[in-house]
Amino acid sequence: MLKVKLEDFSPVGLVDKKIILPLLLGNDIFFCDYSFANLFMWGDIFKTRWLFLEDRLWIYNGYDDLMLMPVGKALTLPGLIAVSDMLLREGKSGNFVLVDQDFVKDNASLGDFFHVTIDVDNGDYIYSSQKLVDLAGNKLHKKRNLINQFLALYPDHKCLPLQASDLGACLELSEKWCRMRTCLEADFDHETSALKRALGHFSALELQGLKISLGGEMAAFSVFSQLSSNMADVHFEKFAPEIKGSGQVINWETAKFLSAKYKYINREQDLGIQGLRQAKKSYDPEYIVSAYFLERKK
């Protein structure tokens, strides 16, 4: 019987990278929620805690009161129920997220204990890196046109590596983007905190990024890291909305940079926000990976 106890979980710290990151990369995880950079950047906000026990990495989101499906040794249905029971005894929901399709298919009696639904709002958008570079076909015709217009209007623009010292410019640009977008819907205050943590620990988190510079002023930026052996995760991407084509150019430059090493790019979730969903679908993803949500029956 699994002896997982919530009291044994710890907050995610930088020192934990040497344990957590090899586990995630070794299991070729492709959900952005498991990215070590995300676990750390958003850790204080989501009250993320972790535990490695019996060849499994457990991650608990205290803000939403959710246990992520563990990474590592395969979990049995009795084991999952035992951990859910433990959470219930602790006064928690006993709910699980990021449960894969095979687990649901292989455990027909799962519905006796949980309400089983596909978590569409938290599906990851996965793109072909090369497709985002080529932008071929009618579906991406508008993207190509906007990039060409930007290149014609700003022939002296520069695409440069992002530095930790760019934090101030990134925050200023993010706030400008926020004023012209749906900040409250996108929970911008939380994103600002995560961005500060990302650039404050840029090297330690093994993050990389690009920035588009116009006359010394930042017009767009992106922040990304390795997610698996053939996939990168774009954590942040912001641009000046008043500069036509800046959003398409930073997306394109990021894809060009990443395509040399990664076949796929994870551009994370739309969180059920219609504008974000439309924007992500407009780039014609290869697929959207949606896992299952298990809500414990009381």
As given in the structure block, the two tokens for residue 168 are 């101030």
> What does the DSSP 8-state code read for residue 73?
S
Q: In 3-state terms, what secondary structure has residue 201?
A: coil
Residue 289 lies in a domain: no
286 in a structural domain: no
Distance in angstroms (rounded) separating the CA atoms of residues 210 and 224: 9
**pLDDT tens digits, 42-72:** 999 999 999 999 899 999 999 999 999 999 9
Looking at the structure, tell me whether residues 118 and 134 fall in a common domain: no
* Section 136-163 average pLDDT: 96
pLDDT grade for 201, boundaries at 50, 70 and 90: very high
Task: Report pLDDT for 180.
Answer: 65
End of a domain among 106, 122, 138? 122
261 in the same domain as 132: yes
* Eight-class DSSP state of 238: E
* Domain shared by 116 and 69, yes or no: yes
Count of the separate structural domains present in the chain:
2
Boundary residue ending a domain (122, 137, 166): 122
Tokens of residue 216, six digits? 């010394």
CA distance 284 to 279: 10
CATH code of the domain containing 225: 3.40.630.30
One domain for residues 258 and 191: yes
109 and 184 inside one domain: no
- Tell me, yes or no, whether 118 and 198 share the same domain: no
Residues 116 and 139 in one domain: no
Q: Specify whether 138 is located in the same domain as 228.
A: yes
Task: Count Cα atoms within 13 angstroms, Cβ side, for 104.
Answer: 18
Q: pLDDT class for 275, splitting at 50, 70, 90?
A: confident
Residues of the domain holding 226: 124-268
pLDDT above 90 coverage of the chain, percent:
83
